C-alpha cells in the first residue's frame, strides 16, 4: 500500500463491548486511516443497548460502510489491499464461522479473506466463560495466523475510568497493525526499589 492511504477493515459483531469497535473507528480516523465498516445484525442491536449512538451515527464514523450481506463488496476480495481487519467486539458465532471457513456474511467473509491473504486479523473476543469447543476454535484461528486479543484491562496504567481501560485495549490492538495511537500507555519498566 505504498503511497496510498492506509485502509483498515473494522468488523463489529453482536458481543457485548461495542465501545471497542466505536473507539477503533475513532482512533483510526485520528491516525488518518481509511476505515471500511461492516456491522452484523446483532451488532446493530447491541449498539442500541450499550450506547446512545444510532446506527447512522456509527456508520458516519467510517469512510466506507458495507452491508452485512454484500458479499460482492470490495472487502470480500483479496485484491482489495488493506492493513488487515479488526473485529471488535468479536462474538463466539463470528469467530466460530471464521475458524471453519464456512462464512455466512460479509463480516466473516472479509475476515476469511484477511487470513488467506496473510494480513493481520485481530479478534477482540468478548465472551466468557469459554468451553472447550470455543477454545479449540480460537486455537485453530491462532494457528491460521489470527491474533486473539481479549480486551483485558492493563492495571499497571492505573486507569481512572472505563474509557481509559477501553482506550488502552484498543490502542494495543491497533499496535498489531503498526498503528501507534498516541494515547496508548507504554510500559517503561519498574522503578528501582
The residue ranges of every structural domain in the chain are 7-175
Mean pLDDT of 72-82: 97
Question: What pLDDT, in 10s, does the model give residues 110-166?
Answer: 999 999 999 999 999 999 999 999 999 999 999 999 999 999 999 999 999 999 999
Confidence of residue 188 (pLDDT cuts 50, 70, 90): confident
Kind and range of the H or E run holding 176 = none
Instruction: Locate 160 and state its grid cell.
Output: 481512572
Q: Is the pLDDT of residue 74 over 70?
A: yes
Q: Do residues 1 and 79 lie in contact, with contact meaning Cβ atoms separated by under 8 Å?
A: no
Q: CATH: 3.40.1010.10, 1.10.8.60, 3.40.718.10, 3.40.50.1950. Which one for 7-175?
A: 3.40.50.1950
d(CA 150, CA 148): 6
Q: Do residues 154 and 172 lie in contact, with contact meaning Cβ atoms separated by under 8 Å?
A: yes
% residues pLDDT > 70 (the chain) = 98
Q: Residue 4's pLDDT is what?
A: 84
Q: Residue 2's pLDDT is what?
A: 58
Amino acid at each position: 500500500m505504498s503511497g496510498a492511504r492506509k485502509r483498515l477493515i473494522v468488523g463489529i459483531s453482536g458481543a457485548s463491548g461495542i465501545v471497542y469497535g466505536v473507539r477503533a473507528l475513532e482512533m483510526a480516523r485520528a491516525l488518518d486511516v481509511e476505515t471500511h465498516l461492516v456491522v452484523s445484525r446483532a451488532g446493530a442491536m447491541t449498539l442500541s443497548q450499550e450506547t446512545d449512538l444510532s446506527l447512522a451515527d456509527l456508520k458516519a464514523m467510517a469512510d466506507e460502510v458495507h452491508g452485512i450481506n454484500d458479499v460482492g463488496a470490495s472487502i470480500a476480495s483479496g485484491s482489495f489491499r488493506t492493513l488487515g481487519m479488526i473485529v471488535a467486539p468479536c462474538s463466539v458465532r463470528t469467530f466460530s464461522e471464521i475458524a471453519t471457513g464456512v462464512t455466512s456474511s460479509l463480516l466473516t467473509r472479509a475476515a476469511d479473506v484477511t487470513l488467506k491473504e496473510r494480513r493481520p486479523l485481530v479478534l477482540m473476543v468478548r465472551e466468557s466463560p469459554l468451553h472447550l469447543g470455543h477454545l479449540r476454535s480460537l486455537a485453530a484461528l491462532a494457528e491460521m495466523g489470527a491474533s486473539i486479543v481479549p480486551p483485558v484491562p492493563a492495571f499497571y496504567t492505573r486507569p481512572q475510568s472505563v474509557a481509559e481501560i477501553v482506550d488502552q485495549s484498543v490502542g494495543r490492538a491497533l499496535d498489531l497493525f503498526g498503528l501507534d495511537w498516541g494515547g496508548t500507555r507504554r510500559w517503561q519498566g519498574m522503578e528501582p526499589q
